[in-house]
Amino acid sequence: MTLPGGEQLIVPFTSKFKSEPVDCSAGGSLELDTSIVVGVDDAVREFFLRDSDRVDEQGRVSVGYIYLTVRFSPAWHPNFASLQFTAATSSMSRMFVQSASVRKVFTDLTATTGGVCCLLDTETDIFDICWLNGETFSGETVPGTRFSGFQDLVAAWCEPVE
């Protein structure tokens, strides 16, 4: 992958299910496909472990395909990049909502990379806030994508910490 500024990286993703090099040096957006490894909890066990035993030695299972859309300098907050992970199926998406292990993976990813805001799409009229300006949240919500000013609202809440 060639990034804005010319830096090249090898990443564990495909793009639109192809493994050819991807040039995103002009900015804009990038579509990737991936899998993640999560700890097994009740929701993950119910979704994945019905027919086979695919748990690794650390008690984790690989979940995927997951689609990742990266938007460089999005209009609603041009000083940041937006990473949107989307489950490939509705049942996987419901598992994401129910699994504390999945929530932890995405919250930890946001925290580790210096992310400002992590929202979980509940496939309802709300998003759960998982991480906001250096704090983990539980049970806090914001209006969902059906809310006309959603992107502006999130951008206003996700101002950088000074």
Q: How many helices (H) and strands (E) does the chain have?
A: 4, 7
Asked if the model's pLDDT at residue 21 lies above 90, the reply is no
Rg (CA), the chain: 17
User: Dihedral angle at the C-alpha atoms of 143, 145, 146, 151, nearest 10 degrees?
Assistant: 80
Q: How confident is the model at residue 160 (pLDDT cuts 50, 70, 90)?
A: very low
pLDDT above 70 for 118 = yes
- The whole-model pTM stands at 0.73
